[in-house]
């Protein structure tokens, strides 16, 4: 090649080779641009000043509850705010789909961050608006939203004083069973772990298992253990666990529950093979085949297993029981929290629209429509009639939360610090009978200690 040729070649290569990547680098640096968006006039009926004829971009997790409830609220919103339209995007891959949008600085106006592929909530805390103004606003019927909600529904998402998200769907955690089966066998609902073990023996006599589990959901038993320990030992236990205290898994209340569970495992009360069974298949062994009698889960279970529940199953729940009859909290205390966290990202183009959509969802009309369609309650009180729209599970939820009153509690440290995947492994081994209570305790403590000692992880103080 002649000199000229080579130089021309190099120059050309340099231009192509260098400009393309820098172009991309520049594009990815433009993420700092401020998104203000047009705002309309703030008024009593338009508390956040959403602009007329604006579009609201909502990304909604398409899981057990679908996305139609947000579309429905969007229709209501279209009627109350001039020409505002809501564009709902359904997603089951929230983290992977939203990651580039957050980095590029054009996140949606409203995000329902849920499902297996959700963004770790803690990654969003700094990037979302404080939603206190939404709960302080009045709903479409004119009542302050804060007053229409069940007690304590905002605790989980209040992080160091900031309301980072609003969980929309009321979720009660407990143990679920078939009321018709219990009636047929003449069993009564256990109120302590000692009674659960007795029930295990009775079930075994009938060739039934007491419990069962699926490999992706072994940690439902962790939630059950935590709930039972809190009822047994009171709020001190909740605070110790939530603040990742040293030796928190060795507290007497926690150990009493874990020991009872270990006895159930050793006595063969668990349906074998759970560590290799897909979790909905395992749940069908309970709700369809009735091979085991109790299943710990959240109240989404009825909706999740709708297609795979035996006729006249009469799915009913009761709160996680304490270890003994002399527990600190009454046996009616229930783990009540809310699921489906809705975030309004700070950099969203139409934040006012996102908040207005959330306000609409929290109003009576949309919340009642949700309860009726999904057979589950939102965090808005009084949207479920006596007959629970014909659902025994929904009726038992209302009963549980009313019976608990001020003794409802919740905890979030498991999801907050991302313990899920690591704990799951431990619980699969424990429930399969491969590790002892002492093993389990030590390994859970190791995980907890590691997070507590890691200064790069922002802690949320539990009170």
Partner 1 sequence: MARRRQLDLDRASLLVVFLLVPFALYAVMVLWPFAQAVTYSLTSWSGFSPDKPFVGLDNYTELLGDATFLKAVRNSLLLLLILPVVTLGIAFAFAVLVTVGGPSAGGVRGVRGSAFYRVISFFPYVIPAIVVGLVWAQVYDPNNGLLNGVLTNVGADGFEAYAWLGEKRTAMAATIGVAVWGMVGFYMVLFIAAIQGIDHEVLEAARLDGAGRFRVARSIIAPYLSGSVRAAYIYIGIFALDCFVYVQALNSTGGPDNSTLVITQQIYTTAFTKADFGKACAMGVVLALITFAFVGLLRLARLATKAGRA
Contact letters for partner 1, residues 284-323 (x by CB under 8 A): -x--------------------------------------
Question: Closest CB to partner 1 among 248 and 432?
Answer: 432
DSSP 270-300: BPTTGGGS-HHHHHHHHHTS--BS-EEEETT
Stretch that binds partner 1, among 72-80, 90-98, 132-140, 298-306 (CB under 8 A): 90-98
Question: Closest CB to partner 1 among 162 and 364?
Answer: 162
73 vs 79: CA distance, rounded Å: 10
Give the one residue of 68, 71, 117, 263 binding partner 1; rule: CB under 8 A: 117
Residue 275 is a binding residue for partner 1 (CB under 8 A): yes
Closest CA to 359 of 40, 50, 36, 150: 50
Task: List the alpha helices (DSSP H) in 362-457.
Answer: 364-374, 392-404, 413-416, 420-431, 437-453
Sequence-separated (6 or more) residues with CB below 8 Å from residue 462: 238, 239, 242, 243, 411, 413
Stretch that binds partner 1, among 41-49, 184-192, 316-324, 419-427 (CB under 8 A): 419-427
Residue 119 is a binding residue for partner 1 (CB under 8 A): yes
Question: Closest CB to partner 1 among 76 and 265?
Answer: 265
Residue 424 is a binding residue for partner 1 (CB under 8 A): yes
Closest CA to 353 of 146, 15, 73: 73
56 vs 183: CA distance, rounded Å: 50
Give the one residue of 58, 98, 134, 210 binding partner 1; rule: CB under 8 A: 98
Coil, helix or strand at residue 361: helix
Distance of CA 455 to the CA centre of its chain: 26
Give the one residue of 10, 87, 89, 126 binding partner 1; rule: CB under 8 A: 126
Q: How far is the CB of 105 from partner 1 (least distance, A)?
A: 7
437 vs 255: CA distance, rounded Å: 8
Question: Closest CB to partner 1 among 182 and 279?
Answer: 279
Interacting residue ranges for partner 1, rule: CB under 8 A = 1-2, 4-5, 8-9, 12-13, 16-17, 20-21, 24, 31-32, 95-96, 98-99, 102-103, 105, 117-120, 122-124, 126-127, 215-216, 271-278, 281, 285, 418, 420-422, 424-425, 428-429, 432, 434, 456
């Amino acid at each position: 090649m002649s000199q000229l040729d080579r130089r021309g070649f190099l120059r050309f290569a340099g231009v192509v080779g260098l400009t393309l990547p820098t172009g991309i680098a520049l594009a990815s640096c433009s993420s700092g641009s401020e998104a203000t968006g047009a705002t309309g006039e703030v008024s009593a009926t338009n508390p956040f000043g959403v602009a007329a004829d604006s579009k609201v971009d909502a990304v909604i997790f398409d899981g057990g509850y679908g996305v139609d409830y947000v579309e429905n609220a969007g229709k209501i919103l279209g009627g109350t705010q001039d020409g505002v339209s809501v564009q709902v995007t359904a997603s089951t891959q929230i983290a992977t789909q939203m990651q580039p949008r957050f980095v590029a600085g054009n996140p949606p106006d409203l995000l329902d961050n849920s499902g297996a592929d959700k963004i770790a909530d803690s990654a969003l805390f700094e990037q979302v608006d404080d939603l206190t103004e939404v709960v302080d606003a009045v709903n479409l019927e004119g009542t302050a939203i804060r007053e229409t909600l069940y007690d304590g529904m905002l605790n989980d998402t209040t992080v160091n004083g900031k309301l980072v998200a609003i969980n929309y769907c009321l979720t009660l955690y407990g143990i679920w069973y078939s009321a018709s089966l219990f009636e047929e066998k003449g069993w009564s609902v256990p109120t302590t772990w000692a009674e659960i073990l007795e029930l295990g023996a009775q079930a075994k006599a009938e060739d039934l298992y007491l419990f069962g589990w699926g490999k992706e959901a072994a940690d439902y038993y962790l939630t059950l253990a935590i709930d039972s320990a809190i009822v047994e030992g009171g709020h001190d236990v909740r605070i110790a666990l939530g603040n990742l205290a040293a030796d928190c898994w060795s507290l007497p209340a926690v150990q009493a529950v874990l020991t009872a569970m270990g006895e159930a495992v050793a006595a063969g009360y668990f349906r074998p093979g759970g560590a290799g069974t897909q979790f909905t298949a395992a749940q069908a062994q309970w709700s369809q085949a009735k091979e085991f009698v109790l299943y710990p889960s959240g109240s989404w279970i009825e909706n999740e297993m709708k297609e795979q529940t035996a006729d006249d199953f009469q799915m009913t729940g009761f709160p996680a029981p304490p270890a003994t009859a002399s527990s600190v909290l009454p046996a009616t205390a229930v783990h009540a929290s809310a699921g489906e966290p809705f975030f309004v990202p700070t950099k969203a183009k139409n934040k006012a629209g996102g908040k207005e959509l959330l306000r609409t969802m929290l109003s009576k009309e949309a919340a009642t429509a949700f309860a009726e369609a999904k057979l589950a309650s939102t965090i808005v009180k009084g949207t479920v009639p006596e007959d629970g729209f014909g659902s025994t599970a929904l009726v038992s939820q209302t009963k549980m939360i009313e019976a608990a009153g001020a003794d409802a509690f919740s905890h979030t440290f498991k999801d907050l610090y991302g313990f899920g995947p690591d704990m799951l492994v431990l619980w699969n081994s424990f429930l399969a009978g491969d590790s002892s209570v002492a093993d389990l305790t030590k390994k859970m403590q190791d995980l907890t200690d590691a997070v507590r000692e890691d200064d790069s992880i922002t802690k949320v103080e539990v009170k």
